[in-house]
Every structure is written in structure tokens, then in C-alpha cells.
């Protein structure tokens, strides 16, 4: 009643409010319209809420209804919805500080505003299992629900509705639903939905799902599967999520943690920043960088471990300096030979030292102490033979020795003695035989202890890897090679003992090999005796001659004892011979890898070929490892010298063509096949490299013979030659094209075809699993992690199934092949684009196109249509990269398939591929299509193409007598089949088992795929099609692709089914009539 007391409140009001200041609807309306700032409206609404909370809630619900009804207004509706959510959250935030002022209300806090608004929006969006048809309304409702879920995280109805929205077909709705689910209270259903959305096709949905998931034993497997996501934003959200829960580092296994730490070197700066935040949080949680590095798996994948350690060394230079001083700096004499307990400290010190400046490195590093530690590590390797950890420690120390600067002569001699000791007693490379000839295997061999010993020995001799060749450097190279060859002779000297007259003039390897060969014959004889005794014993027991059976049993026991003795002696001799041979071969191969010497001016290095390698390759009873190592060393010589390559050209061709003899063997169970593939892989790389390097010395026929041998590889061993063949074609493809113009080189064209098929090969995927509340959906494909069992244990890299590993390698190879074929038309010269065209023609003319036919496969009662590769993707890839004048060849070979195999061509979706490219059809395509229809192609399948191509002009009158008719561009069906059979027979004569690559014929399925069936059902009402491009049904549609499906408008869902007898307006006829009138 006192006006003086009301004055301050009146001065705080907004004059624009006037008499409507107590009406919440007016306040909301004016703020949404922009007449009142939001900062003034929120306190006013709070004041009204304290007076009458129910009126404010009703006003919010009423405005929410209007917003959803006008959701198609665009950004205005979005801003209005966000404002309503802000009002509700503001009221809930300050309701604890305010007291209700309405008379008759009990004292206490004000009621919530977000919960009734959320329930009202749930009602507007249809509730559970119902929803609006308009996607704008669904999007607006999902946005408001997701925002309000942060205020009411325990609401069950909101969770159910957001779960429905997370399966919506609109990506933006799924993304907002995922954000809302992340803000709810933790529940199994919400976690399952987020786990499913981490593999969503939309980038924003995956990023939001990864950021919203809580890291636990059940979710860490799926989260870590996004490490290799193609989008940088998803990877950055992953690391941001990890940085928010540093205690979850205990859940990760060693291999997974190594992969995460390696994210510091990601190719995108945003991911590196996010990974840095996660690593900082882990280091703070664990108590240091070394503790984190000790938890990583540094031995399984050494390259990945080095990447992680280098990133940590660059990020934490102070900790790196301390570790370098501790293990590589000066210390007391008694501590000089102390070795660390794990690989982390030495690796971290090495990477930190490499990141330092040269001045800091000289100040910190003590080379004398380093040499003593390396000698101690070498002694530890000899004591613990076969220990991977000791070998790894020695190699890390040798890396640091190779990095150090040596200026003192005494210190140089000590380092030289260390290098010689490593060559004498260092551990050999443990590269498997199957990895010889691969890039990974070569990299592992180049980082072995023997290679590091060669590098250190060259460094103390004044040589580096890359330097200008002069007379002085060649003299140093020859001196270093001589020193290494003398070391090899010293290694073999203890075994060269005096023998009897029969052994004079023979080396110890020859003597041991002859002894092993004799033992093998004795073992084979003893094995046959054992088989005979077992058969006789079984026969005697069956005849109840027990005395004879007992005698045979005694003979078998004595024979088994003799057989065991022979096998033990053979194994001892094998170990003795192979150890020396493998060490000598490792030293020679390492010297060839790191030397810059001219072989013709280096008699010591060149002499190893004739005095060591060639005699060794002719030894009897060679083991597989020694045989592959000898071939590898000979191939290294061939790459270095053209004359050596020409002399051993036939040997390398024979090794590569030898794969055709073992086509049907089991590669996983046969050691011989692994050896043959390893030798072939080494020979394939050597042939390709020699052809490119020594092309001026080799004849054109020899260069082309390398490509022919690479192309005629068996189907089971095709992965061996892909990289060498791509390299040959990129460098010497013009030779193939020139020779192909003179006379077709079918094997190389065949190789282009099957490589193109491999580039578009489709991997078999498991069917989509239905989301069940009992367990989260299982992850498909290859991953860094596995699903955890019931016991809570760190998630780590699983043991990969061999089939899955082969699929992963094939996928990586397909990616590289796609890059190769994309680069092919861009090569300088005029041969690149024709080679791409020849590749597709090879697929069409050899029968490889049948691998793209959709065939039914029944699994678990469901029929799935699978194919080996996608013809539409392959055709579109080639078609868009060729010039217009060359596309006619693609259309001709594709339509020839439609003529020769009219039943299988639609199942391979060849007509659909042509229809998709109709807008860029080459000149003459309508005439070619008309000719195909005249020869018997399916007019129904080619209907979409007919509707998109212009009608060709009518054929001219028949030529006069004596005038030859125009040649046909397509063959008749029988002639087309005969031409394909002739091509397959010619390829078979070249040594290609064409039936293994692609069948000559396929049985036409009795059913058709669903999308083909729907198309046929639509055409059944229009009667049978007629031949001729002008009579083809214009309403035919090609099988829908994913892009076409996405471009089609969303079909309207009808609430009630229309009665069958309801009158229908002739809308189509009316539209056609209106179009004709408009044209007139």
C-alpha cells in the first residue's frame, strides 16, 4: 500500500511490458518476436512463475504446440524451440532460490518446469511407437526432447522416444537423438543405442555417439573401433571422450593403448590436439610418461610402438631429457652395464634423443657408456637365446650408436669392435619365410641387428647411406666390403677342419649337406620299414599269430629307436649348417642393402655371388629358410647390376612360373607352398625392378616377358604379383601398348582385367542384426578390440581369424588398386586411357563379368543375393575416366554381353549400368542398342536405356547388288559365345587356369532379386514388350542404387487404406493433355 516501497520494483520493469507484464504468453510472444531481449524476459518469467507457476507452464506448452505446428518455418522455429527450452531450464535452475508467492500454496520449492514441458512434447510427437509423418516436425520435436532430457535425465518416456528417433531415416534427427540419449541417466537400452550408432553412415551421428558413450568394459570395444574412422571429427571426439575419463585407461589393453597413444601423430591437427589432451590426462592419472609407455605393447608392432614413443618424446621433452641422462648419459663404472627392466625407457630415450638438437645431443650422450651397455645387451642376447625382449633392447641401443657422432679414434675402434661382435654373435632376423618379398618383411629385415651392425661398421669407415659417388668414396666402399667379406670367412673358418681324402676340396656346408642328404635317405627307408612292420603286425594280430606279432612289435620298437636317433642327428646337422648359412646370407644381404658401391669396381662384394651364393643354392637338402634367403640375395644382386640380372633372368622367370604347378595345394597347411610363394614373391619384385632399372640393357622381349610371367599367376597366389605388376605397368605400360597394337598381348590384358575386378571386389558382410535389449549388437568386420567376456579385463587386440585377416588384406589391396586405375589415365603419353579401356574389355570378353552376377545364398532361412564384384561401380568408374571417343568400346562390349547372355546380364546389372551412363552416351550408342535388340537382347531389361537414348534414324535402303553391306558391330549370340570360348582357350594355352578364375557358364537362378521382382511386377500390367528401341517401355526403371534411393522423395504414409471401389481421377491423362496443349 505504500507507494515508496513499490517504487524500486516499478523502476526495474520494462516499460514495453505495460499491463501485459503478468501474462506469460505475451512475454514469450514478444521475446520470440524479438521485441524484448531474452535477458529481460527470463527474470520477468521467473517473477511470474513465482506468482503462478501453472500459468507459465501452460504458456510454455502452448508455445511448444505452436512451434511444432510451424516447424517448417526453418531457423525461426528452431530458435523459438531453443528459447522455450532455455526458459524451462532457467526456471528450474532458480526455483530453489525462489519461494512461491501465491496465496494458499504451502511453503517449499517451486514445481519443475522442464518435466511437464517434456511430457507435453512427448504427447505432441505421438508418444511411444507413434510419430508425425513430417520430418520437420520430427526434427523439431527430437531437438526439444534432446535438450530437455539434460534437465530431466531420469525420464523413461523421453528415453523410449529418443530410442525411436535414433533409428529415424533422417541423419539430423538421429544425431539429435544420440545427443539426448547421452544426457540421460545411464541405462542398458541407451548404451545399446549409442553403441549401434557408432557405426552409422552419417559422420555427425558417429561423432555424437562416440562422444556420448561412457567408457566401460562393455563399451570400450566399440569406442576403440573408431580409431581408424575415415572422418577426423569422429577421431577427435573419441579422444575428447577419453580425456574426460582418464581413470578408464585401466580398461584398455596394451596393444589398444599403444594405438591410442599413436594418435598424437595423426594426420589431422584437431585429432592431434584432442589426443594430446587424452595423453596429458593419462599421464597425470598414472604418474608419469614412462608409466604410460610401460603399459603399451611395444614389441608386437614395433613400428607403431616407435610412433607412439616418438610422439611422447616430442610432447614431453623435459621427461625425455631425464630418461636420456639416466640410460644414455654419463654414469659410474659399475652402473654402465645395467640394463632396464622393460623396453619403454630405452625406446623413449632413443626417440627423445632423436628429437633433440645436435648441440644438446652431444652434451647429454656418453658414447663410451652407450657402447658398454650395448655390449652387455649383446651378452644378454647370447645367454637368453631366442628372447624377443633382449633382441629388441640390443637393437634400440644399436640405433642410438648409429645416431651418435664419433670423433675420438679410441672410441671409434671400440665402436668398430662392437659392430664386428654384432655381426659375429648378434641375433638373426626372425622374419617369417612367407614375408620375404613383401614391403613389411623388407622393412623388418632392414632393422635387424645384423643390418644395424653393417650400418655402424660403414659409419666408422666414413660412409653414409646417401652420398655422391667419387673415386675416394668408391675406394672406401671397396675397403668396407673387403672387411665384411673377411668377417664372413672368419665366421666359416672354425668349421673348416681337416677331413679325409674323400672330403678334400669340399666346404663344410657341402659336407654337412651330403650328410643330411644321406640321413634323409636313411630316415625315409626307416619310415618305410615302420609302415611295413605296422601292416604285418596288424595282419598277424588278425590271424591270431601272437608270437609273430610280438616279434614284429620288438622289431618296431628297435626301428623307432633307430628312426629317432637318425632324426635327432639330422636336426643337429641342420641346426649347425643353417645357423652359419643364415648368418652369412644375412650379412651379405645387409651389405647389399646398405652399400652404394659399384659392383663392377668392388671385387670383394661381387665375389660373394660366385663364391658364396651360387654354390650355396646348389647344395642338396636345403631347408626352406636357407633356400628363400639365397634367392633373395641373388635377386638383390640382380637389381644392383644389369649383367647379373640378365644372367639370372630365366631363373627368376622359372621361380615365378613355378606357382602354376601348385595351384590346388592348401596354402595354410603346406610348408612347401609357402616356400614357393615366398620365392615367387621375391622373384616377382626383382623382375619388375630389374625391368624398370635395367630397361636399356635388357631386350624388349625380356622386359615384356616379365609382365607376361607376372600376369599368368594362379588365382590362389594373385596377391603375390599385384604390387610388382602395378609398378611395371606404371613405368613400362607404353611397351605393352605398342606391342599390343602390333599383336595382342592377351596375358597382360588379362591381368588388367582381373586386377580391375579385384579393385571393385565386394566383401561378404554379415546381415544387419536387430537391436535386442538383452545384449549389445555384435561388431562386424575387423577391429582393434574384441568383445569382453563376463570377467572384467582390459580390452586388447584379438587374435584375428585367418579368413578375416585375408579379407582385411584384400580390402587394403583393393584400395591401392583403385588408386592405380585412377592414376592410369593421367599418365604422360597416350597409352594410359586405352589400357583402362582394355581392362574392362578383358573383363567382358574373358567371362570374368560372371563373377558380378547376383546369386542367391540361403543362410539361416533367409535368401541373400551376393556377388563377387559390382559391375555398375566398375563400369561407372571406367566410363567417367575415359574420353568420349573411347566410350563406344565400353558400350559395345557391354551390349555384346546382353546379346550373348540375355538371362544373366540383368542379374549382373549391366543394363542398369548402361542406363545410369545414358546421359554421357557416346555417339552411335542408339544404333548400337537397336542392333543389340535386333540380335535378341532382352527388351524388358534394356527398357530404361531405351527411354533415355534418342531414337536412331531409320535404316537406309538395302544396298544395291554388288555393294557389300555395312559391317555389324555386334556378334550374334552363338558367335559371341564362340568368341569368348576362343579367348578362354587362348588364355589356357598361356598357362592360365581360366575355369578357376571365372566359370564358363552359370545356372540362371529360378528367382530374381527383390528389386528386380518389383520392377517386373510393375511392367506386367502393361503387356509384353516389343522389340525395337522405339517400342521399349519408357516406364521401365533400372534397379535402384543407393544414390537413387537417397535422391527419391520420401513417400507419404497414409493413415487409412483407400477403398478399392473408390472413384479415381484420371490425373495422368489430365497431365498429359495439359502438356500437349502447352506445347501447342
Are residues 369 and 331 in contact, defined by beta-carbon separation less than 8 angstroms? yes
Are residues 629 and 445 in contact, defined by beta-carbon separation less than 8 angstroms? no
Question: Quick check: 686 pLDDT over 90?
Answer: yes
Are residues 208 and 182 in contact, defined by beta-carbon separation less than 8 angstroms? yes
Are residues 109 and 95 in contact, defined by beta-carbon separation less than 8 angstroms? yes
Question: Quick check: 651 pLDDT over 90?
Answer: yes
Nearest-angstrom CA–CA distance, 26 and 222? 49
Express each pLDDT in 366-376 by its tens digit.
999 999 999 99
Q: What mean pLDDT comes out for the span 987-1006?
A: 88
Are residues 279 and 293 in contact, defined by beta-carbon separation less than 8 angstroms? no
Neighbours of 952 (CB within 10 A): 16
Are residues 980 and 1074 in contact, defined by beta-carbon separation less than 8 angstroms? no
Q: HSE on the CB side for 932, CA within 13 Å?
A: 32
Are residues 839 and 821 in contact, defined by beta-carbon separation less than 8 angstroms? yes
Measured in residues, the chain has a length of 1080
Which DSSP symbol is given to 795? B
Are residues 872 and 909 in contact, defined by beta-carbon separation less than 8 angstroms? yes
Query: Could you tell me the pLDDT band of residue 998, with boundaries at 50, 70 and 90?
Result: confident
What's CA 138's distance to the chain center, in Å? 37
Q: What mean pLDDT comes out for the span 757-778?
A: 53
Express each pLDDT in 660-676 by its tens digit.
776 554 444 456 788 88
Q: Where are the alpha helices (DSSP H) in 406-545?
A: 409-425, 439-446, 449-460, 471-492, 508-542
Nearest-angstrom CA–CA distance, 284 and 291? 10
In the prediction, which pLDDT does 317 show? 92
Q: Enter the C-alpha cell of residue 310.
A: 616418438
Are residues 666 and 673 in contact, defined by beta-carbon separation less than 8 angstroms? yes
Query: Could you tell me the pLDDT band of residue 158, with boundaries at 50, 70 and 90?
Result: confident
In the prediction, which pLDDT does 334 show? 79
In the prediction, which pLDDT does 435 show? 81
Residue 856's DSSP bridge partners are 865
Express each pLDDT in 432-463 by its tens digit.
888 887 888 888 888 899 999 999 999 999 98
Phi, psi angles (nearest 5°) of residue 737: -65, -40
DSSP for 1042-1053, please give it: HHHHHHSPPPPP
In the prediction, which pLDDT does 184 show? 86
In the prediction, which pLDDT does 110 show? 73
In the prediction, which pLDDT does 338 show? 84
User: How distant, in Å, are the alpha carbons of 139, 255, 309, 784 from that of 798?
Assistant: 40, 9, 23, 7
Question: Quick check: 609 pLDDT over 70?
Answer: yes
Nearest-angstrom CA–CA distance, 24 and 31? 11
Query: Could you tell me the pLDDT band of residue 102, with boundaries at 50, 70 and 90?
Result: low
In the prediction, which pLDDT does 964 show? 56
Of residues 238 and 1054, more confidence is placed in: 238
Q: Which residues contact 235 (CB under 8 A, 6 or more apart)?
A: 226, 227, 229, 263, 266, 268, 271, 274
What's CA 822's distance to the chain center, in Å? 18
Question: Quick check: 424 pLDDT over 60?
Answer: yes
Residue % of the chain over a pLDDT of 90: 45
b/e sequence 975-988, b meaning 16+ C-beta within 10 Å:
ebbeebeebbebbe
Are residues 867 and 851 in contact, defined by beta-carbon separation less than 8 angstroms? yes
What's CA 584's distance to the chain center, in Å? 37
Question: Quick check: 1034 pLDDT over 50?
Answer: no
997 exposure class (CB count in 10 Å sphere: 0-12, 13-18, 19+):
buried
> What is the H or E stretch that residue 857 is in?
strand 855-859
Nearest-angstrom CA–CA distance, 695 and 727? 14
Neighbours of 889 (CB within 10 A): 17
> What is the H or E stretch that residue 862 is in?
strand 862-866
Phi, psi angles (nearest 5°) of residue 601: -110, 15
Express each pLDDT in 794-827 by its tens digit.
544 344 444 445 566 777 788 899 999 999 999 9
Amino acid at each position: 500500500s505504500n507507494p515508496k516501497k513499490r517504487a524500486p520494483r516499478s523502476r526495474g520493469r520494462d516499460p514495453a511490458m505495460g499491463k501485459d507484464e503478468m501474462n506469460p504468453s505475451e512475454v514469450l510472444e514478444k521475446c520470440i518476436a524479438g521485441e524484448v531481449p531474452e535477458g529481460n524476459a527470463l527474470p520477468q518469467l521467473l517473477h511470474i512463475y513465482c506468482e503462478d507457476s501453472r500459468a507459465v507452464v501452460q504458456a510454455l506448452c502452448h508455445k511448444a504446440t505452436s512451434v511444432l505446428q510451424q516447424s517448417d518455418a526453418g531457423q525461426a522455429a528452431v530458435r523459438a524451440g531453443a528459447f522455450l527450452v532455455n526458459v524451462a531450464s532457467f526456471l528450474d535452475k532458480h526455483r530453489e532460490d525462489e519461494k512461491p508467492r501465491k496465496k494458499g500454496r504451502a511453503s517449499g520449492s517451486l514445481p519443475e518446469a522442464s518435466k511437464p514441458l517434456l511430457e507435453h512434447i512427448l504427447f505432441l510427437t505421438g508418444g511411444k511407437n507413434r510419430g508425425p509423418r513430417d520430418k520437420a516436425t520430427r526434427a523439431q520435436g527430437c531437438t526439444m526432447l534432446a535438450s530437455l532430457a539434460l534437465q530431466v535425465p531420469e525420464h523413461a518416456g523421453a528415453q523410449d522416444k529418443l530410442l525411436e528417433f535414433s533409428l529415424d531415416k533422417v541423419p539430423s534427427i538421429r544425431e539429435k537423438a544420440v545427443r539426448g540419449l547421452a544426457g540421460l541417466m545411464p541405462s542398458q537400452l541407451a548404451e545399446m543405442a549409442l553403441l549401434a550408432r557408432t557405426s552409422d553412415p552419417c559422420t555427425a551421428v558417429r561423432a555424437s555417439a562416440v562422444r556420448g558413450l561412457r567408457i566401460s568394459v562393455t563399451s570400450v570395444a566399440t569406442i576403440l573401433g573408431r580409431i581408424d574412422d575415415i572422418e577426423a571429427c569422429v577421431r577427435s571426439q573419441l579422444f575428447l571422450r577419453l580425456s574426460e575419463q582418464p581413470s578408464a585407461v585401466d580398461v584398455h589393453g596394451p596393444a589398444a593403448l599403444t594405438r591410442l597413444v599413436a594418435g598424437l601423430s595423426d594426420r589431422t591437427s584437431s585429432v592431434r590436439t584432442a589426443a594430446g589432451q587424452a595423453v596429458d590426462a593419462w599421464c597425470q592419472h598414472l604418474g608419469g610418461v614412462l608409466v604410460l609407455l610401460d603399459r603399451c605393447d611395444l614389441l608386437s608392432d614395433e613400428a607403431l610402438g616407435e610412433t607412439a614413443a616418438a610422439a611422447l618424446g616430442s610432447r614431453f621433452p623435459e621427461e625425455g631429457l631425464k630418461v636420456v641422462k639416466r640410460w644414455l648419459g654419463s654414469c659410474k663404472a659399475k652402473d654402465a652395464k645395467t640394463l632396464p627392466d622393460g623396453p619403454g625407457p630405452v625406446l623413449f630415450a632413443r626417440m627423445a634423443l632423436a628429437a633433440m638438437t645436435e648441440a644438446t645431443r652431444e652434451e647429454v650422450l656418453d658414447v663410451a657408456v652407450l657402447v658398454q651397455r650395448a655390449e652387455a645387451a649383446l651378452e644378454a642376447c647370447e645367454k637368453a637365446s631366442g628372447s624377443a625382449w633382449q633382441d629388441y633392447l640390443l637393437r634400440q641401443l644399436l640405433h642410438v650408436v648409429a645416431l651418435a657422432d664419433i670423433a675420438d679414434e679410441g672410441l671409434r675402434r671400440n665402436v668398430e669392435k662392437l659392430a664386428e661382435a654384432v655381426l659375429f654373435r648378434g641375433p638373426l632376423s626372425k622374419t617369417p619365410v612367407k614375408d620375404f618379398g613383401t614391403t613389411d618383411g623388407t622393412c623388418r629385415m632392414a632393422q635387424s641387428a645384423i643390418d644395424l651392425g653393417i650400418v655402424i661398421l660403414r659409419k666408422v669407415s666414413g660412409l653414409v647411406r646417401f652420398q655422391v659417388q667419387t673415386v675416394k668414396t668408391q675406394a672406401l666402399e671397396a675397403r668396407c666390403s673387403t672387411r665384411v667379406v673377411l668377417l664372413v670367412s672368419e665366421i666359416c673358418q672354425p668349421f673348416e677342419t681337416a677331413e679325409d681324402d674323400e672330403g678334400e676340396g669340399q666346404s663344410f656346408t657341402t659336407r654337412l649337406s651330403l650328410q643330411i642328404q644321406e640321413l634323409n635317405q636313411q630316415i625315409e627307408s626307416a619310415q618305410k620299414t615302420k609302415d611295413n612292420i605296422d601292416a604285418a603286425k596288424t595282419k598277424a594280430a588278425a590271424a591270431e599269430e601272437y608270437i609273430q606279432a610280438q616279434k614284429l612289435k620288438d622289431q618296431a620298437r628297435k626301428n623307432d629307436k633307430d628312426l629317432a636317433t637318425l632324426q635327432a642327428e639330422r636336426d643337429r646337422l641342420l641346426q649347425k649348417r643353417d645357423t652359419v648359412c643364415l648368418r652369412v646370407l644375412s650379412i651379405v644381404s645387409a651389405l647389399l642393402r646398405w652399400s652404394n658401391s659399384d659392383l663392377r669396381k668392388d671385387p670383394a662384394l661381387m665375389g660373394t655371388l660366385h663364391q658364396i651364393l651360387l654354390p650355396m643354392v646348389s647344395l642338396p637338402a636345403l631347408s626352406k629358410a636357407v633356400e628363400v634367403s639365397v634367392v633373395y640375395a641373388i635377386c638383390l644382386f640382380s637389381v644392383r647390376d644389369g649383367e647379373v640380372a640378365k644372367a639370372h633372368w630365366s631363373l627368376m622367370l622359372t621361380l615365378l612360373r613355378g606357382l602354376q604347378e601348385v595351384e590346388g595345394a592348401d596354402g595354410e597347411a603346406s610348408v612347401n607352398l609357402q616356400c614357393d610363394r615366398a620365392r615367387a614373391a621375391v622373384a616377382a619384385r626383382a623382375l619388375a625392378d630389374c625391368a624398370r632399372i635395367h630397361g636399356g640393357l635388357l631386350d624388349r622381349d625380356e622386359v615384356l616377358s616379365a609382365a607376361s610371367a607376372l600376369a599368368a599367376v594362379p588365382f590362389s597366389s594373385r596377391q603375390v604379383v599385384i604390387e610388382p605388376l602395378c609398378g611395371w605397368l606404371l613405368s613400362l605400360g607404353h611397351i605393352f601398348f605398342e606391342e599390343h597394337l602390333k599383336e595382342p598381348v592377351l596375358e597382360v590384358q588379362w591381368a588388367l582385367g582381373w586386377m580391375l575386378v579385384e579393385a571393385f571386389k565386394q566383401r561378404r558382410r554379415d546381415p544387419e542384426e536387430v537391436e535386442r535389449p538383452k545384449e549389445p549388437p555384435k561388431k562386424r568386420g575387423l577391429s582393434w578390440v574384441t568383445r569382453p567376456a563376463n570377467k572384467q579385463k582390459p580390452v586388447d587386440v584379438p587374435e584375428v581369424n585367418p579368413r578375416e585377416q585375408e579379407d582385411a588384406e584384400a580390402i587394403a589391396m583393393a584400395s591401392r588398386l583403385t588408386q592405380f586405375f585412377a592414376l592410369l589415365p593421367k599418365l604422360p603419353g597416350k597409352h594410359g586411357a586405352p589400357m583402362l579401356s582394355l581392362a574392362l574389355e578383358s573383363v567382358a570378353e574373358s567371362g570374368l563379368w560372371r563373377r558380378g552376377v547376383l546369386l542367391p545364398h540361403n543362410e539361416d532361412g533367409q535368401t541373400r543375393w551376393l556377388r563377387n564384384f559390382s559391375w555398375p561401380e566398375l563400369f561407372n568408374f571406367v566410363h567417367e575416366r575415359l574420353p568420349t571417343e573411347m566410350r563406344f568400346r565400353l558400350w559395345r562390349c557391354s551390349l555384346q554381353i546382353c546379346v550373348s547372355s540375355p538371362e544373366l546380364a540383368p542379374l549382373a546389372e549391366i543394363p542398369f549400368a548402361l542406363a545410369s551412363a545414358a546421359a554421357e552416351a557416346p555417339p552411335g550408342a542408339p544404333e548400337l542398342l537397336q542392333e543389340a535388340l535386333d540380335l535378341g537382347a532382352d527388351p524388358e531389361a534394356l527398357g530404361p536405356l531405351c527411354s533415355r537414348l534418342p531414337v536412331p534414324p531409320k535404316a537406309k535402303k538395302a544396298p544395291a547388288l554388288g555393294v557389300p553391306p555395312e559391317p555389324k558391330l555386334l556378334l550374334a549370340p552363338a558367335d559371341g559365345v564362340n568368341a569368348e570360348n576362343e579367348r578362354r582357350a587362348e588364355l589356357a594355352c598361356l598357362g592360365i587356369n581360366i575355369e578357376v578364375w571365372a566359370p564358363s557358364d552359370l545356372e540362371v537362378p529360378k528367382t530374381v532379386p527383390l528389386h528386380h521382382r518389383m520392377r517386373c511386377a510393375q511392367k506386367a500390367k502393361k503387356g509384353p514388350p516389343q522389340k525395337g528401341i522405339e517400342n521399349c517401355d519408357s516406364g521401365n526403371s533400372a534397379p535402384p542404387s543407393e544414390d537413387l534411393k537417397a535422391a527419391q522423395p520420401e513417400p507419404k504414409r497414409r493413415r487409412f487404406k483407400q477403398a478399392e471401389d473408390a472413384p479415381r481421377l484420371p490425373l495422368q491423362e489430365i497431365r498429359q493433355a495439359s502438356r500437349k496443349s502447352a506445347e501447342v
